[in-house]
């Protein structure tokens, strides 16, 4: 995950490094890891991975001002809450949704995200491969679009971002130049599109790590020093 932090702006990367020790580790918090616990010791054995994961979070959600482009921090948290909800991770989704008021989100955004998460739920992944051996894994799934009611809350720009995030979560095989063009048409810059994709990828990573740590918490292991 260090690649996510590295591909952000240099100022964001500096922010990640300088804030890593000041901001509580997000994965520890989501997994309920207490200092000195056996899970804390497990993570400490991979200190670089732990640090890079936290730096990636900071680079995406707490970059050093000025923020380049118009991808506001509140919208980043909204996308994260939506993506976590699509993955069926209510606790992670709540973590990002609860932060929305403090990030200056518009009124009604948290509620609208919750509503759209329900509308966009699915199993996936859907889509079709080029004709060949992988065609056996083709699966049909309805395309997603933000409802008119919630589009009025989000605005066209964030709505387009949520629709693209849904595509990446459930329809990765259907990613196309046309899908990217729809973001550009909604006012996203190419740099902001990259950041959007990084957030979706980071959430998938973060959720898997948290899930694995929670599973380990149910089966304590004996560590060998």
Rounded alpha-carbon distances, angstroms, from residue 164 to 41, 184, 193, 195, 211? 38, 11, 9, 12, 25
Q: Please name which of 212, 205, 215 lies closest in space to residue 87, comparing C-alpha atoms.
A: 205
Residue 17 pLDDT greater than 50, yes or no: no
Position 10 scores a pLDDT of: 37
Residue 97 pLDDT greater than 70, yes or no: yes
Tens-place pLDDT, residues 102-148: 999 999 999 999 999 999 998 767 666 667 676 666 666 678 999 99
Residue 13 pLDDT greater than 50, yes or no: no
% the chain with pLDDT above 90: 64
Rounded CA-CA distance 134/137 in Å is 6
For the ranges 39-48, 61-70, 89-98, 182-191, the lowest mean pLDDT is seen at 61-70
């Amino acid at each position: 995950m260090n690649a996510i932090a590295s591909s952000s702006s240099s100022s964001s990367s500096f922010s990640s490094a300088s804030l890593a020790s000041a901001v509580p580790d997000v994965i520890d918090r989501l997994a309920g890891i207490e200092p000195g616990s056996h899970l804390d010791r497990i993570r400490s054995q991979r200190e670089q991975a732990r640090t890079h994961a936290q730096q990636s979070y900071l680079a995406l959600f707490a970059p050093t001002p000025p923020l380049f482009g118009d991808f506001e921090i509140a919208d980043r948290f909204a996308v994260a809450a939506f993506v976590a909800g699509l993955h069926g991770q209510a606790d992670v989704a709540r973590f990002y949704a609860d932060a929305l008021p403090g990030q200056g989100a518009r009124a009604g955004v948290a509620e609208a995200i919750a509503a759209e998460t329900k509308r966009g739920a699915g199993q996936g992944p859907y889509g079709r491969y080029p004709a060949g051996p992988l065609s056996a894994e083709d699966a049909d799934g309805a395309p997603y679009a933000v409802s008119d009611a919630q589009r009025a809350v989000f605005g066209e720009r964030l709505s387009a971002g949520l629709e693209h995030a849904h595509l990446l979560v459930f329809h990765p095989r259907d990613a196309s130049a046309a899908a990217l063009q729809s973001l550009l048409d909604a006012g996203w810059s190419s740099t902001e599109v990259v950041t959007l994709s990084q957030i979706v990828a980071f959430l998938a990573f973060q959720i898997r790590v948290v899930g694995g740590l929670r599973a380990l918490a149910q089966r304590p292991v004996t560590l060998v020093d």
